[in-house]
A and B are shown apart, each in its own frame.
Chain A
């Protein structure tokens, strides 16, 4: 259903201008975030996943801008072009938190150390629901903490972030993000800083949000295991492009991009025993200032031809929901069989 699409990103280009250079961080990224579904964006560090997430909320650093492409947000019946809003303008700010919320990688640094957790949640609540009184706001922040499984929420509400454990802080972050019931939750590697059992709990929590509140979720990760566990749809990113995009079952079982395949081969599969052959992805990630001319993955690819060297492969649709940026995807899938 087309109406399920909450955020629609098309051909997004974002360039960074730090250090007197121009770094083409995103080069034509297209994807949809759908109501009640989880989109996982996966890729190695530096591939542009976090930038994609931040771009949706226009939280980019000063020396950067959206060069091309569109970000559309479906607000009830109204279509909002986020890319055309002023960066910290009123309309953009209204979307932040109220419609689209984000949680960051490291809950240690993402909460302000000098305010109580409750205060930081209420800051969000007051910003978007201004006619609440103090007591109502307090009740609301306590409720959102309780919903995220934090015990003794009234007491916790008055505590400072440093009194929370890592997992608790991330819960508090999610409580804050969800306190105004946004339609979209962007989670930027929410468990990287946490240990395994805690991250499982956080993922359970995110799944609950998806099923109970029909929140559209964009989950950024570098972990293929998380993708298999969490995703409804996957976008595999490499050097500023989505190289493969589709339903999770299609991408994991019918991977058509050599990079996706390489990623899948490089992770161990639980239960397959200790004699699995794991292959790391061959070669090094290229220098972002010295990118390959054609397909970005070309220097590391087994299927590369002269065509790949000179031309960026377009988005080739396998079916309605599955696309791949590779000239030789037929060959890749044949080779795999």
Chain B
């Protein structure tokens, strides 16, 4: 198991190189001169071209592209992600500042969608064709169809503005930062993100469960005289669950993409807002670092999925 994980991690390195290089090339191709974003307009107007060049030199913008890429990469290895081009704050610091917020949101949403989605999906499969199934299936359909941002808007309107149960945005009030004081801020964004993911997980676990329940081994289990709930739980669900875990693993990129949208809507001060702001201002170090970070999350989660699959399914060998 340990060897497998190490081997997988080593195998990720070339992929990471390719991906980071692609991001880098992409950002090099961005239109406009980054210098325009670095220095306030009025200041830039007053500067002589020589002064501008000095700034360029200082920021390393005059080096060849490949050189800049590798110097950035070397920086990462040392834990140095470069500096924001706008205010010279270390990117690693910016990222670390924002990270807890995004993790908090994503993990809460992941938990909601995983548990709620698989639970409802299994219920729906067991009660196939009955009222519970029809209601859940319909809700799932709508859940998949409604855009996340629209769902967020509706929730803000209902729970935030009319009912005033929950705050409409932000993460905490200054000075009140303990977890329980923050909780009411987390509930709505996490529910919106979580529930919009739940629909997909539910539909998938229903399909997977139905598929498993049609297999011969379920009939064998029934022929042994096991009760229906044992048949469904120990045989149907036990096998159906592996593909659902895999799906949830593959959905992590979507979760992160979704958190980007949700952060905007709820003004949740996470990595997503950092990223969209950086895109708008072409802040290369931030875009690259966030891109890298997202890819890392995805790769690590796919590794986790592999390991988990191997643990859950004895047929899969870690080789």
Contact = CB atoms under 8 A, between A and B. Distances in A.
A160 B215 contact: no
B215 A109 contact: yes
A102 B238 CA distance: 23
Interface in B206-223: 215-217, 219-223
Interface string A121-154: 0011001100000000000000000000000000
B291 to A, nearest CB: 38
B97 interface: no
A252 B228 CA distance: 43
A93 B219 CA distance: 12
B40 interface: no
Contacts of B217: 109-113
Contacts of A128: 225
B313 interface: yes
Secondary structure at the B interface, as helix, strand, loop or mixed, is helix
A256 to B, nearest CB: 35
Given A112-B235, A113-B314, A114-B312, A93 B220 contact: no
A34 interface: no
A298 interface: no
Interface in B50-82: none
B296 interface: no
Contacts of A97: 223-225
Contacts, number: 72
A102 B223 CA distance: 7
A114 B314 contact: yes
Nearest to B220: A110
Contacts of A160: 314-315
B76 to A, nearest CB: 41
B17 interface: no
Contacts of A93: 225-227
Given A113-B239, A113-B314, A94 B216 contact: no
A35 interface: no
B177 to A, nearest CB: 45
Contacts of B242: 114
A180 to B, nearest CB: 9
B223 A113 contact: no
A220 to B, nearest CB: 14
Contacts of B224: 96-97, 123-124, 127, 176
B239 A114 contact: yes
Given A101-B223, A114-B312, A114-B313, A88 B228 contact: yes
Nearest to B236: A112
Interface residues of B, number: 22
Interface string A148-166: 0000000000001010000
A127 B215 contact: no
Interface string A53-72: 00001010000000000000
A124 B225 contact: yes
A273 to B, nearest CB: 41
A102 to B, nearest CB: 5
A113 B315 contact: yes
A251 B38 CA distance: 97
B313 to A, nearest CB: 6
Contacts of A124: 224-225
Contacts of A59: 219, 222-223
Contacts of A162: 314-315
A98 interface: yes
A301 B314 CA distance: 53
Interface string A89-125: 0000111111001101010011111110000100110
Given A112-B235, A112-B239, A95 B313 contact: no
A57 B223 contact: yes
Contacts of A114: 238-239, 242, 312-315
Given A112-B238, A176-B224, A104 B315 contact: no
Given A114-B238, A114-B312, A162-B314, A88 B222 contact: yes
Contact of A96 (B222, B228, B239, B313): B222
B220 A112 contact: yes
Given A160-B314, A160-B315, A162-B314, A111 B223 contact: no
A111 B312 contact: no
Nearest to A105: B216
Most buried by B among A110, A112, A113: A112
Contacts of A57: 223
A94 B220 contact: no
A59 B224 CA distance: 11
A225 to B, nearest CB: 26
B314 to A, nearest CB: 5
Interface in A214-236: none
A123 B218 CA distance: 13
A234 B39 CA distance: 95
Contacts of A98: 225
29 contacts: A57-B223, A59-B219, A93-B227, A94-B225, A95-B225, A96-B222, A97-B225, A98-B225, A101-B223, A104-B216, A104-B220, A109-B216, A110-B219, A110-B220, A111-B217, A112-B238, A113-B239, A113-B315, A114-B238, A123-B226, A123-B234, A124-B225, A127-B224, A128-B225, A160-B314, A160-B315, A162-B314, A176-B220, A176-B224
Given A102-B223, A113-B239, 10 more contacts: A88-B222, A96-B224, A101-B223, A104-B219, A109-B216, A114-B242, A114-B315, A127-B225, A162-B315, A173-B220
Interface of B: 215-217, 219-228, 234-235, 238-239, 242, 312-315
